[in-house]
Amino acid sequence: MAKPKCKELIINRDWCKGCGICIHFCPTNVLEMDDEDKSVAMRIEDCICCKLCELRCPDLAIDVVAEPKEKETEN
Amino acid sequence: MEDKNYIRERFFPHIWCPGCGHGIVLNNLLRAIEQLKLKKNEIVMTSGIGCSSRISGYVDFHTLHTIHGRALAFATGVKLSRPELKLIVPMGDGDALAIGGNHFIHAARRNIDITAIIMNNRIYGMTGGQFSPLSGYGTRATTAPYTNIDHDFDVVELAKAAGASFVARTTTYHVKEMADILKQAILHKGFSAVEVMSQCPTYFGRKNRLGDAVDMMEHYKNSTVRVGSKKIEKNPDLIERGVFVEKESPEYCSEYDKIIQKAMGTSA
Amino acid sequence: MSNNIKFLQGNEACAEGALYAGLDFFSGYPITPSTEIAEHLSINLPKVGGKYLQMEDEIGAMCAIIGASLTGHKVMTATSGPGFSLKQEAIGYAVMAEIPCVVVNVQRGGPSTGNPTHVSQGDVNQARWGTHGDHSIITLTASNHQDVFAMTVEAFNLAETYRTPVILLFDEVVGHMREKLVMPEQDEIPLVGRLRTDCKEGVDYHPYLPREDGRLPMSDFGGSHRYNVTGLYHDMWGFPTDKPEAVRELCRHLVDKIENNVHSITRFKEYYLDDARTIFISYGSAARPTLHMVESRRRRGERLGLLELQTLWPFPAGLIREKCADARYIVVVEMNMGQIVREVKMAVKSPENVFLANRIDGELITPVDIRKFLRIIQGKGA
């Protein structure tokens, strides 16, 4: 079975307060803090869609959108 | 995120400090409610006063933001007068167990079908960092400048002793467990008490040199274990998480319905 | 003989009045001398499908009825002095959040534990000013069981009309005395039901936007409109605000909705006022010996009259001014150190003609006591 891939990692910059929880606990080091103390997804290709950043975000600012599962081949 | 449907987006960003655990509780409470597919009109959220209690303003349910410590008393009136509604009562540790301690133990004793969430950050945050009944011996706060000599409650033991028929504990680090426990608590028929250890980096963290929100959540990871874990034998300082009590017990509103039948002379 | 006639305690008359008014949720905590209200309702509420809830304390009982009112029920709690003190914060919440409810205080001697099994009327000002912050409130009282019943029904009607807590300020004598009550027929006393919004689901509903007539239609918790209820200053949706104009508007609204309707809220009884040179003003149990004294002296040709107040707050200053315009002496009979007398002095043109006749030892003031006061006032010696 293919690993789920991240299509988009949306961070609502108006809501993000830059606590760094998502960055610290990301198992694949996808996120970084930018100059404005907001979290950004720098390496989205490494994202495994565990969604722990989304679940642990105290600001409800993160939305991890997974690629739709590949359709099974017709037969 | 599907659960955005359950919030009043116009009030965001919320008032809580950066890294405040209360936002994580809100986040996963909404997920629990969404996974249970509850209707917005069947939920009444009742809260008291404090940082935690502001949660009710952010959710698109029937919301009752009341006075300090009394959320469970208001909720008892709502629930008994309309038992088909689901009552969710988030409270801070001071709100639930200092000024509201009496309502907490009596709602548990009555076993009325209410879900109480104790968002335990061990401090009075909204007033600026005074010690609470859950701060614990030896901690520091603005009103415990020479260290705190007040001992703390164990919320789980208190709820158990008071007769709650569902008792659980989790933390803001253990988010999937939190959503899972909250789902069980909401579905449980009877009084459910869920303690969520929730970091206050601004006051409790700073006063007690515990680092930032990340450090405090690392501490939750390292200082807690699943209930029944063998690790606790080697290290009794570990705090247990999980479901401690889940039992069937006569629920108050159902019992009162029987009283009505008796009084009307229609009981079998 | 009609079985509509009952012989009962004032506390039971209050409970019967509440049931007549449509009470279906009561929450209380035992306290002397009001406990019989709770006992009576614990028996009779479930018989009509209503609910009796005994809470862990006075505060909880007050909070529980507010919660139950929000689901659309007619609610009441009952207490006495110390319990009334404890309930004050939550009463203020009901004022601020505009939640209809009825709070009975069967007065006993205070302060503190005071004189629990004896009569007093010492909580008049607490009923008005007990909770913190600017506000107005409705307070009714009565001196006999027929009026206790009627004022209890009125309390529910006014609570619904003005979306406010209404205080029923009885006292130990009225509460515990037994006398006749003629139960009114159904529909004999008009009842005011909950005014509910006709906003359809999906239409923006404003729980705190008064209609042109000043009334605010409600929506039951659990219904199709979800809104916020808070003790903070709030906007028309119930969400907290500290905008100066919103705070000012709401504070004014909370006061004006009651103070501007003093006339509609005022209930009173008058006896022999037409030619009275000396007018007694009294209320609650103290009005009974006053009336007795007035009637017995009338028979001897003394031009005495009685104005019995049933609405204590908002204070009917206009009524007092009008009724007492030609009086030589105005004597306020009350069982406290002078709580209503102060209001009367402020209401009339010549406050120097206003006197207090009181008793504060836990015993009901007697006609003889009042007669003695009158002789002193008239300069005839004790």
Query: How do the domains of chain B map onto residue ranges?
Result: 2-264
Q: Is B38 on the interface with C (CB under 8 A)?
A: no
In the numeric block, which tokens belong to residue B20? 């405040």
Instruction: Write the pLDDT tens digit of every residue in A57-75.
Output: 999 999 999 988 765 554 4
Percent of chain B surpassing pLDDT 70 = 98
**Domain spanning B2-264, CATH class:** alpha beta
Going by C-beta distance under 8 Å and a sequence separation of 6 or more, which residues neighbour residue B117? B25, B29, B88, B89, B90, B91, B182, B185, B194, B196
Q: What is the DSSP letter of B152?
A: P
Q: Which residues pair with B65 in a beta bridge?
A: B47, C230
Residues in C touching B262 (Cβ below 8 Å): 46
Instruction: Write the pLDDT tens digit of every residue in C320-354.
Output: 999 999 999 999 999 999 999 999 999 999 999 99
Contact present, C71 and B62 (Cβ < 8 Å): no
How does strand A62-66 pair with strand C329-334? unpaired
ipTM value: 0.97
Residue C138 Ramachandran class (φ > 0 left, ψ -120 to 50 alpha, else beta): beta
Average pLDDT over residues C79-103: 98
User: pLDDT value at position C174?
Assistant: 98
Name the neighbours of A, counting chains with at least 3 Cβ pairs within 8 A: B
Residue A75: CB atoms within 10 A of its CB come to: 3
User: For residue A1, what pLDDT band results from cuts at 50, 70 and 90?
Assistant: low
Per-residue pLDDT 10s for chain B (268 aa) are 556 899 999 999 999 999 999 999 999 999 999 999 999 999 999 999 999 999 999 999 999 999 999 999 999 999 999 999 999 999 999 999 999 999 999 999 999 999 999 999 999 999 999 999 999 999 999 999 999 999 999 999 999 999 999 999 999 999 999 999 999 999 999 999 999 999 999 999 999 999 999 999 999 999 999 999 999 999 999 999 999 999 999 999 999 999 999 999 975 5
- Mean pLDDT, rounded, of chain C: 97
Domain boundaries of chain A, sorted by first residue: 6-64
C192, containing H or E segment: none
Set out the domains of chain C in order of their start, with CATH numbers. 5-182 (3.40.50.970), 268-377 (3.40.50.920)
Q: How many B×C Cβ pairs under 8 Å?
A: 128
User: pLDDT value at position A70?
Assistant: 63
Largest pairwise CA distance in chain B:
64
- Nearest neighbour of C46 by CB, restricted to B40, B57, B260: B260
User: pLDDT value at position A69?
Assistant: 74
Amino acid at C141: T
Q: Is it the case that chain A and chain C have 3 or more CB pairs lying under 8 Å apart?
A: no
- Nearest neighbour of A60 by CB, restricted to B23, B179, B201: B23
User: Does the domain made of A6-64 have the CATH classification 3.40.718.10?
Assistant: no
